Amino acid sequence: MTRSFFAGSYGGDDAQLNDASLLECRICWWVYDPAVGDPVHQIPPATPFTALPPDWACPVCAGQRDAFLVVEA
């Protein structure tokens, strides 16, 4: 099965990101900012989105990583 993603979707493609990329949950619009990290899941500041654990999910709504949208690459 081929998965399709709409414009701006991350979809698991690390190649389109850099260490400072901001990504937004397309369900609740929470923004992952690597400068801040994710205190809910004890992800320290300066952790790029690409370094998040594979099972990481949005701390607000539990949206999956591959459903995030690239806000700023």
Summarised one tens digit per residue, pLDDT across range 5-63 is 455 677 777 888 999 999 999 999 999 999 999 999 999 999 999 999 999 999 999 99
Residue 28 lies in a domain: yes
Question: Which pLDDT value is given to residue 73?
Answer: 65
Question: Which pLDDT value is given to residue 40?
Answer: 96
Question: Which pLDDT value is given to residue 9?
Answer: 75
Neighbours of 37 (CB within 10 A): 17
Neighbours of 23 (CB within 10 A): 26
Residue 6 lies in a domain: no
Question: Which pLDDT value is given to residue 10?
Answer: 75
The CATH number covering residue 37 comes to: 2.20.28.10
Provide the pLDDT confidence category of residue 67 given band limits of 50, 70 and 90: confident
63, burial (CB in 10 Å: exposed 0-12, middle 13-18, buried 19+): middle
For the chain, the domain total comes to: 1
